[in-house]
Structure 1
């Protein structure tokens, strides 16, 4: 049975080019990337042990082994953090753990007050599952007519994979889909992520399930949105993590070019300037 940690190590190994490590080419490879023997040698562990990690038969590698794998795979700081997180949730995946449950959706009053200070900017509070918990009138203005906020409890991940309008609204749909699925592994907790994956998988289809075990962090690029009125926006995203007890983040969308800034100004007259908190 595979594990998040094993899936990540295997996916990262497959994504690497052997020549970038100065490894000789001994003919056509049956699979892309590094061979297990090559990665094991670079990490200083046995091929058998690496195989057990990748196949989920060893769920508790030591910190020294994790560091060796991170070095051997040339992980950057973000990927190293993700590797340690996956090791933590993999090691804790045992019988008797708490049953999956939906996350807390309450947003603290001071966070709502911070959103009011950001008016008329485009900002919202979310969690790693994609729940849209609160937002400014600017965010509501930009999302109007897209279908994202139509649900009683809006969720960006559910919208991306189940609403046909998402592929028109999001020109880089594959990029956003990769981001949303990757974020599921980052919280709010292993239990809530498990609950959400089990809830969404039956209705989201293969585009969702085939991404579940990819584990490679998607590139950080501007977010493109194609508004129903014909405007195309490009946004830089500032993601501000709230305290760990909240398991939420404040996301601010900033125009990435002058045409986006001008398009937003043309929409401003429709804004009522009211903060909406989703219960």
Structure 2
């Protein structure tokens, strides 16, 4: 096995991408297969010297931003982005190990009383999340709402991972950009940036999702919306319009998000998904 796996990976992917695939003119006959180092460096916004150090193994710890830019420039698949990140990932906590030691534990489960509240809210979709968007508990109505679009397929479902790395999210959310803004703003503003769990997820998504995530995470003007409306294209129920309300559980580092039908058609569709006669749920008028 090579002791410079990162450099070998980057060089191999660079040589496999044609200028046309990268949006560059083909020009006269080229002596180098794929992209030249200078071309990839320009596309990724880094220096040729730095790219050379990475490929030669003289720098093995590039930032997540650099990895994300290289992944975008090379048009890497999600699987290759995950591999790229794995080749550079380190086990320590960075320059300040006290950050990890001082951080509160990340919630991995909801209390029984929180689960009971979610069950009582059925047939209104409701979910309990921790501060990085992991799904900790949900009621059956929420499973019926988002299960068919793949949001719960992962062993540990996470809203941000689904939104930025699962192509099905683009179909499920017609207003994908607004949903992305809201979820990143919550991640960006609800907890300190030095929180290691937020930093870990942000680094991961900077690599796996590239600029679409990184640019939003760097945008300080984005502010989280606690309430609002959301459209979902459901494969069984069709177009749904939902209002969402967020209830904070600060002692647990969690929040409950409740989705309410914004119109009569959505209320009837949610009833049908639950096997109920329309009329059990009532539309909630949006604030004027």
TM-score (ref. length: structure 2): 0.57
Query: Gaps (5+ residues) in structure 2?
Result: 1-93, 277-288
CA distance in 1 between counterparts of 2:148 and 2:200 reads 29
Sort the Cα spacing of 1:184 and 1:134 in 2 relative to 1 into closer, same or farther, 3 A.
same
| 1:254 Cα deviation from its structure 2 partner | 0.5
* Stretch deviating more after TM superposition (161-170 or 203-212): 203-212
Q: Which of the numbers 167, 172, 176 marks the counterpart of 2:175?
A: 172
Q: Does the alignment pair 1:192 with 2:197?
A: yes
Instruction: Tell me, yes or no, if the aligned pair for 1:187 and 1:193 is still in contact at 8 Å.
Output: no
Query: Gaps (5+ residues) in structure 1?
Result: 1-92, 271-279
Matches within 5 A, 1:1-20: none
CA distance in 2 between counterparts of 1:230 and 1:113 reads 26
Matches within 5 A, 1:32-181: 95=96, 97-99=98-100, 103-181=106-184
Query: 2:209 maps to which residue?
Result: 204
| 1:187 Cα deviation from its structure 2 partner | 4.3
For residue 229 of structure 1, give the secondary structure of its aligned residue in structure 2.
coil
CA distance in 1 between counterparts of 2:237 and 2:259 reads 19
Sort the Cα spacing of 1:103 and 1:236 in 2 relative to 1 into closer, same or farther, 3 A.
same
CA distance in 1 between counterparts of 2:246 and 2:160 reads 17
| 1:232 Cα deviation from its structure 2 partner | 0.8
RMSD (Å) for aligned C-alpha atoms: 2.3
| 1:110 Cα deviation from its structure 2 partner | 1.1
For residue 133 of structure 1, give the secondary structure of its aligned residue in structure 2.
strand
| 1:166 Cα deviation from its structure 2 partner | 0.3
Q: Does the alignment pair 1:259 with 2:260?
A: no
TM-score (ref. length: structure 1): 0.59
Instruction: Tell me, yes or no, if the aligned pair for 1:129 and 1:180 is still in contact at 8 Å.
Output: no
Query: 1:225 maps to which residue?
Result: 232
| 1:114 Cα deviation from its structure 2 partner | 1.2
For residue 261 of structure 1, give the secondary structure of its aligned residue in structure 2.
helix
For residue 98 of structure 1, give the secondary structure of its aligned residue in structure 2.
helix
Residue-pair matches, total: 177
Instruction: Tell me, yes or no, if the aligned pair for 2:228 and 2:245 is still in contact at 8 Å.
Output: no
Of structures 1 and 2, the one scoring higher in RCO (CA 8 A, sep 6+) is 1
Query: 2:243 maps to which residue?
Result: 236
| 1:96 Cα deviation from its structure 2 partner | 5.1
CA distance in 1 between counterparts of 2:233 and 2:98 reads 43
For residue 152 of structure 1, give the secondary structure of its aligned residue in structure 2.
coil
Instruction: Tell me, yes or no, if the aligned pair for 2:126 and 2:139 is still in contact at 8 Å.
Output: yes
Structure 1 residue ranges (4+ consecutive) displaced by more than 6 angstroms after TM superposition:
none
